[in-house]
Amino acid sequence: MVPMVRIPPTRKSVTFLVSEPAANTAMTTGSKRVNLLDLDEAGLRAFFESIGEKPFRAEQILKWIFHHGVTDIGAMTDIGVSLRQKLMRIAEIRLPEIIREQRSIDGTVKWLIGFHGGNAIETVYIPEPKRGTLCVSSQVGCALNCSFCSTGMQGFARNLTASEIIGQVLLAAQALGHERNGRRRITNIVMMGMGEPLLNFDAVMPAMSLMRNDLGFGFAAKRVTLSTAGLVPAIYRLRETIDVALAVSLHSPIDELRTELVPLNRKYPIAVLMQACRDYVSAKHKRSVTFEYTLIDGVNDHPEHARKLVKLLRTVPSKLNLIPFNPFPGTSYRCSSASRIAEFKEIVMRGNLIATVRKTRGDDIDAACGQLVGIVQDRTRRSERIKIKLAETSP
């Protein structure tokens, strides 16, 4: 692994190149060994059984990785030498690598994290007085093509593996000096980075399970949030699979406009999406859904939109997160004015919605929502991909 170099916060934002992608060996060598970081507790138990070992070995491995920060199988001293040797032949614990770290003047940190094949994604840490949120990516690029998101403009290369997703948290925890039982620099994780997490269900679930599990990071359900553009069948699957908070990117209370902003709306229109949200919160302990609404000047920020939003969201236990649009090169959209945002918020609050305006963070390092781009190497034709993906997720 490339050693992490800590950079003290300065008044200017700084960019630090930790390693050149070309010099990064793990990114150019594929490996045939099982990466144990791709498996959650259930997966690890099954793995040990499949190699004729006791399932409780899973607990030992997880504690070494997540409680003691040890990824060298050879150093796992409570596992017998012969089993360690056997494991080292067939398995490994392989993290992705930090290519670049950027620190904003406001404390936000953005990492470019690279994988074999030359692809890279971005992970962002947002410190606030009482919490620290880590924004994690689920795909290299994104296939959904939302018109106001720069990740979509990069095209789509591939899904991340579970190890590449949980690896982002491990690398950030290490870089930030996060302590499980001490200084908990990371208090919340949001799957709001690059990609649509519900289009990568099979890798996102074990990764989130490791975020939740006490043998892993041990975050409470309300502190791990999955954000989706509204993949309805997968919202139902999510409900059956894991207990996490749900955020839904809404952006318009009107189908025609929402389809323009989030083309996935054509397949799962607002009424169907709202029903899925109601069903999600009514199950078990989920108290509310967070709706994200990016305010774009002259597009979805009219007072009439706010009034329609009030009517719509009254039907779902929810919170509303208003996000000022973050511009990026090549977009013709602009951010709504401060007075427009204030007026919008005023209307929805008068309508008894719980609304917050998200402060834009990490502006100087392009770390805000929709600004994450990474390196999307093997991008394929987006429209083709989306057709395939959506066909796969049809109920």
Q: Containing H/E element for 258?
A: helix 255-261
The amino acid at 296: I
Nearer residue to ligand SAH within complex by CB, 34 or 262: 262
Number of residues binding to ligand SAH, judged by CB under 6 A: 16
Residues 315-334: x/- map of binding to ligand SAH (CB under 6 A)? --------x-xx--------
Q: What angle do CA 358, 105, 168 make, to 5 degrees?
A: 70
**Which amino acid, one-letter code, is at 279?**
D
Q: Which residue in 122, 196, 260, 292 is the catalytic one? A: 122
Closest distance of CB 146 from ligand SAH, Å: 6
Helical H segments across 294-366, by residue range: 303-313, 338-350
Can you tell me the distance from the alpha carbon of 180 to that of 217, in angstroms, rounded to the nearest whole number? 7
122 catalytic, yes or no? yes
- Taking a C-beta distance cutoff of 8 angstroms, is the pair 151, 141 a contact? yes
Nearer to ligand SAH, 21 or 152 (CB): 152
The alpha carbons of the chain give a radius of gyration, in whole angstroms, of: 21
336 forms part of the interface with ligand SAH (CB under 6 A): no
Per CB under 6 A, contacts with ligand SAH among 180-199 are: 192, 196
| Inter-residue contact 172 to 112 (CB < 8 Å) | no
Residue nearest to ligand SAH (CB): 370
Draw the binding track, 236-275, toward ligand SAH (x: CB under 6 A; -: no contact): -------------x--------------------------
Query: Which residues within the stretch 100-159 sit at the binding site for ligand SAH (CB under 6 A)?
Result: 146, 148-149
d(C-alpha 179, C-alpha 185), whole Å: 7
DSSP letters of 72-83?
A: -GGG-TTS-HHH
Residue 364 Cβ, how far from ligand SAH at the closest point, in Å? 16
Whether 346 is catalytic is: no
Residues that bind ligand SAH in the complex, under the rule CB under 6 A: 146, 148-149, 192, 196, 227-229, 249, 292, 294, 323, 325-326, 369-370
